[in-house]
Structure 1
Amino acid sequence: MRVIFAGTPEVAVPSLEALLASDHEVVAVITQPDARGRRGKALHPSPVKEFALAQGLDVLTPEKASDPEFIAQVAALEADAGAVVAYGQILRPALLESTRLGWVNLHFSVLPAWRGAAPVQRSLMAGDDVTGATTFLLDKGMDTGPVLGLLTERIRVTDTAGDLLDRLAQAGAPLLAQTLSGMEAGVIVPEPQSVEDISYAPKLTRDDAYVRWERPAHVVDRQVRGCTPAPGAWTTLPDGQVAKLGPVSPRLHAPRTVPGQVREMDGEVLVGTGTEPVALSTIAPAGKRAMAAADWWRGARLSEGAALGEA
């Protein structure tokens, strides 16, 4: 089968690798244009572009995937199907019609749960026990097309969004390749998504990542893990500076205190919540690298009763 692959971040690379290792022929790769990093003005290619070029593949980087000239360019490739993993642009109907069998998307949830841009993060923050990955045919809706294949993955109590996404990317890669093989053989019957248990996963905002210490410890724990590594959970220090936080751990038997109050106990830095306190792992005050919370505590020399998140 002649396949066009569309993807951008690191989590899309395993799927491209799986397609190259399969019997399918990748005729072109579509990815987002080179972008500037957080520091400096230099442009950097996406992880997918870097990998694709290293494999000698043709790479297309349209500013807008809806551009008629680009769609004509894709149609001229005469591909049997398209494969999409975290590309970053909406594919309009005209582009979806440019391949013989349509475009298959690998989405990191068990649809119709967590349709949208941040399914892994939202699943973690909601406290789900199980998530997964789904392959489905793209249509004009947002993650609404008929399902072709799926897998499930248990969420571990220490998983960050980065941990879970990496596992799903690895597990989902062969699922995508197998789905395309099944379509080629005509043995996969698309199944409409359920109209029940639909949930949505919008992109995380800065406000989503702000830790509200008055919430229960298990909610704070889920929020921080769901925002790790990006966009990064954050709070304010007693002096008003912003600081990013690494994963926290509830301490069920530690004495409760005022939400946000920070103190040292038995070598750990504890912060009060709406229930039991949580222990900080790392903290990165603005402009500084992440450091062990205990090291930060020794240098901060806070007054008794100092609290996070008040400024």
Structure 2
Amino acid sequence: MRVVFAGTPEVAVPTLEALLASPHEVVGCLTRPDARAGRGRRTRPSPVRAAAEAAGVPVLAPQRLGEEGVAEQLRDWAPDVGVVVAYGALVPRDLLGLPVHGWVNLHFSLLPQWRGAAPVQHAVLAGDEITGAVTFLLEEGLDTGPVLGRLTERIRPRDTSGDLLGRLAQAGAGLVVATVDGLARGELVPEPQPADGISLAPKLTPEDAKVDWSVPAFAVDRRIRACTPAPGAWTTWRGERLRLGPVEPLDGPPPGEGEAMGTGELRVDRSQVLVGTAAGAVRLGEVQPQGKRPMPAADWARGVRPQPQERFDG
């Protein structure tokens, strides 16, 4: 099969590499334009572009797929199938039917659950125990197309969205190759998605990543893990933003004498920093003050010296 691949971030690279190692021929690659990244804000190619060019695959990086010349290039590549993994832009209606077998999208949830841009983050945030990935045929609706293949994956108790997405990206690469194999043999029958069980997973914003200490410890833990590594969970301390790495919810009451901890209240000893919530407390892991590198919470606390009953803002 002649394959056109569309993808942009690192999470899409395992699928591209799996297709390159398969009997199928990757004839071209679509990706988002080069963007500024890193501390120096230098312009860099997307991870998919770098991987494709290293393999000698022609790359197109338009701002929009509707730009002049994109459709002509796709027709020149004459794909049997398009494969999409985290591309970051919609495939226009007039291009949906261009590959012989359509466009196969790898989505990191068990559709129709968590349709949208951030399915893994929302699965962690909701406390789901099982998730997975599916391949489905693109159509005009948001993640509404019929399903071709699926796999399941257990969400581990301490998974961040980055941990879970990494595993799904690797497993999903094999699912995509199996799907393309099945299409080539004419063995796959697309299965319409059920009308019930639909949930949406819009992109999480930095404001969504702000920790609310007035909820129970388990909910604080989920939000922080869901927002790790992006967009990055945070709180405010003495008026400045403090980024938070994953925390550990305490099973019982927080250690120490005195009254129960208030929401957002810090309790510090030499080896740990605890924060009170609406029900229980959490033990901080790494924190990152503005303009500084991540550090263990106990080291941070020795520098800022929280006062008794001092709290995170908000």
TM-score by length of 1: 0.97
Structure 1 residue 264, shift from structure 2 partner: 1.4
Letter in 1 for 2:301: W
- Residue 258 (structure 1) aligns with: 262
| 1:273 equivalent in alignment to 2:272 | no
- Residue 72 (structure 2) aligns with: 72
Indicate if the aligned counterparts of 2:270 and 2:298 stay in contact, CA closer than 8 A: no
Letter in 2 for 1:242: R
- Residue 176 (structure 2) aligns with: 176
* Partner SS for 1:247: coil
* Partner SS for 2:69: helix
Structure 1 residue 66, shift from structure 2 partner: 2.0
C-alpha RMSD of the superposition: 1.1
Q: Which runs of 5+ in 2 are unaligned?
A: 255-259
Structure 1 residue 33, shift from structure 2 partner: 0.5
Letter in 2 for 1:246: G
- Residue 113 (structure 2) aligns with: 113
- Residue 249 (structure 1) aligns with: 248
Structure 1 residue 27, shift from structure 2 partner: 0.1
Distance, in Å, in 2 between the alignment partners of 1:290 and 1:299 is: 14
Structure 1 residue 130, shift from structure 2 partner: 0.4
Indicate if the aligned counterparts of 1:212 and 1:309 stay in contact, CA closer than 8 A: no
Structure 1 residue 254, shift from structure 2 partner: 2.9
Indicate if the aligned counterparts of 1:104 and 1:137 stay in contact, CA closer than 8 A: yes
- Residue 186 (structure 2) aligns with: 186
- Residue 131 (structure 1) aligns with: 131
Distance, in Å, in 1 between the alignment partners of 2:303 and 2:2 is: 59
Letter in 1 for 2:193: Q
* Partner SS for 2:82: strand
Letter in 2 for 1:240: G
Decide which moves more: 12-21 or 33-42: 33-42
Distance, in Å, in 2 between the alignment partners of 1:213 and 1:309 is: 9
Q: Percent identity?
A: 55
Indicate if the aligned counterparts of 2:264 and 2:276 stay in contact, CA closer than 8 A: yes
- Residue 10 (structure 1) aligns with: 10
Aligned length: 309
Distance, in Å, in 2 between the alignment partners of 1:21 and 1:41 is: 33
Distance, in Å, in 2 between the alignment partners of 1:40 and 1:17 is: 29
Q: Which runs of 5+ in 1 are unaligned?
A: none
Distance, in Å, in 2 between the alignment partners of 1:41 and 1:281 is: 28
Structure 1 residue 200, shift from structure 2 partner: 0.4
| 1:221 equivalent in alignment to 2:221 | yes
| 1:284 equivalent in alignment to 2:288 | yes
Letter in 2 for 1:80: D
Q: Which runs of 4+ in 1 moved over 4 A?
A: none
Structure 1 residue 38, shift from structure 2 partner: 4.5
Distance, in Å, in 1 between the alignment partners of 2:163 and 2:294 is: 18
Distance, in Å, in 1 between the alignment partners of 2:278 and 2:2 is: 55
Letter in 1 for 2:277: T
Indicate if the aligned counterparts of 2:133 and 2:172 stay in contact, CA closer than 8 A: yes
* Partner SS for 1:76: helix
